[in-house]
Amino acid sequence: MAAPRNLTGDGGGRQLDGGGRQLVKDEESAAASSAAKGLLNDDSPTGKRTKSERFPLSRWEFAVFFTVFLVFTTGLLCIYLTMPAAEYGKLKVPRTISDLRLLKENLGSYASEYQARFILGYCSTYIFMQTFMIPGTIFMSLLAGALFGVVRGFVLVVLNATAGACSCFFLSKLVGRPLVNWLWPEKLRFFQAEIAKRRDRLLNYMLFLRITPTLPNLFINLSSPIVDIPFHVFFLATLIGLMPASYITVRAGLALGDLRSVKDLYDFKTLSVLFLIGSISIFPALLKRKRVYE
């Protein structure tokens, strides 16, 4: 390296040094440009934050969702307007146990006098809330037990919960994929992997999920069509799997005075019973798997 430097002389050395400095500047500029691009990449925290802040639904998907919501709202309003006059100021979706007690007192005589139309309004409201993921259906289940008793209340809750879940299933099939990917990306990947491993005994697994509080029912309703769960499996698992929890909730509605909060419904004993029933639902699949291995 020393010999070429002596041959070129001082001027050449200065030219070489100037070129070297220019080369270093170019490399620094390229590095800065790459770093700036890296910050905008999806793998970077900034990229992820920008991506997560975007609303997941496209204009077409939002238009479909809004149209379905408008149709359901119009139908519910028509049913509401055809019902006999009442003190509408006292009618509201309960959010606490105290709200539920007041609503039960206000609706007791009304539900007895106009039973058929009241049941129609109750069912429409329940399905509407379940379809559009509006919190409060557990209070509606308690109200069914308080107003209709265990048998009729249980039948109403199971049928309405199943109908609302199926309606949510089809709504998610239309526009739910980007929303679920946006809200629960990790949970969705986990659920998809679990479903893929249990394709041959899917009904048993879905029954277990419905009976036990392993995954939220809202997540199951929205993600099931996305992970390609057949509708008949979803329907049967929902209809049968919601029965134990529905019975517990409806029965608790008979004794609203003893409840302090919704948490009292699912104590350790109740959860243990639900998990025991859920374990029974997957026992045939475990037995079949053992025979296969043998």
CA dihedral over 181, 182, 186, 191, signed as positive or negative: negative
pLDDT at 136 over 80: yes
The two three-digit tokens of residue 53, written as one number: 């802040």
pLDDT band at 171 (very low <50, low <70, confident <90, very high): very high
Rounded to the nearest integer, the mean pLDDT of the chain is 79
Q: Are 219 and 187 in contact (CB under 8 A)?
A: yes
Q: DSSP states of 42-90 as a string?
A: TTSHHHHHHHHHS-SS-HHHHHHHHHHHHHHHHHHHHHHHHSPP--GGG
Q: Are 127 and 120 in contact (CB under 8 A)?
A: no
The two three-digit tokens of residue 14, written as one number: 């200065």
pLDDT band at 284 (very low <50, low <70, confident <90, very high): low
pLDDT band at 289 (very low <50, low <70, confident <90, very high): low
Nearest to 237 by CA among 194, 278, 275: 278
CA distances from 103 to 144, 151, 157, 272 (A): 12, 21, 18, 31
Which pLDDT score is estimated for 218?
93
Share in percent of the chain as helix, strand, coil (round to 5): 85, 0, 15
Which pLDDT score is estimated for 199?
87
**By CB neighbour count within 10 A (0-12 exposed, 13-18 middle, 19+ buried), where does 67 fall?**
exposed
Nearest to 241 by CA among 267, 215, 269, 268: 215
Query: Cα 233 vs. chain centroid, distance in angstroms?
Result: 18
Q: Name the pTM for this structure.
A: 0.74
Share of the chain above pLDDT 70, in %: 74
Q: Are 80 and 121 in contact (CB under 8 A)?
A: yes
> What are the two backbone dihedrals, phi and then psi, of residue 132, each rounded to the nearest 5 degrees?
-105, 20
Tens of pLDDT, residues 211-247 = 998 899 999 999 999 999 999 999 999 999 999 999 9
pLDDT at 5 over 70: no
The two three-digit tokens of residue 209, written as one number: 């999920």
Tens of pLDDT, residues 175-209 = 999 999 999 999 999 999 999 988 888 999 999 99
